[in-house]
Amino acid sequence: MRVDNRLADGVPMRPLACDRCAAQVLVRKSSRQQTSVQWNSGATALCAEREGAGPAFEGCGSLRDTIREATLRGTIELADGGGGGGETGGPGRQLM
């Protein structure tokens, strides 16, 4: 069995509520390009974009925007130490 050391850097998942529907999830930004989101049943029920999406749900744009803004404000920190301050995730990609 391999030891899971993904949270060994000391940056935990943080609660964050979507600005659109108030669904509260746990979020962790390992880098500008990588975001982990942990949904619970309450958040799943509240999410306006999940409603009716069925198994084809690929993510919530409103929550993505909320995470981006929280990262830019410093509410959600980047585990790799990279600053959020308006940076992009590479050519033509916005910070998530």
Question: What tens digit of pLDDT does each residue of 68-78 get?
Answer: 999 999 999 99
The larger pLDDT score, comparing residue 33 to residue 86, is at: 33
The answer to whether the predicted template modeling score (pTM) of the entire model surpasses 0.85 is: no
29 with 71: CB under 8 angstroms? yes
> Average pLDDT of 55-72?
93
Question: For residue 58, what are the CA distances in angstroms to 48, 65, 68?
Answer: 13, 15, 17
Kind plus residue range of the DSSP H or E element containing 17: strand 14-17
List pLDDT tens digits, range 4-55: 566 666 788 999 999 999 999 999 999 999 999 999 999 999 999 988 787 8
> What is the per-residue pLDDT for 96?
46
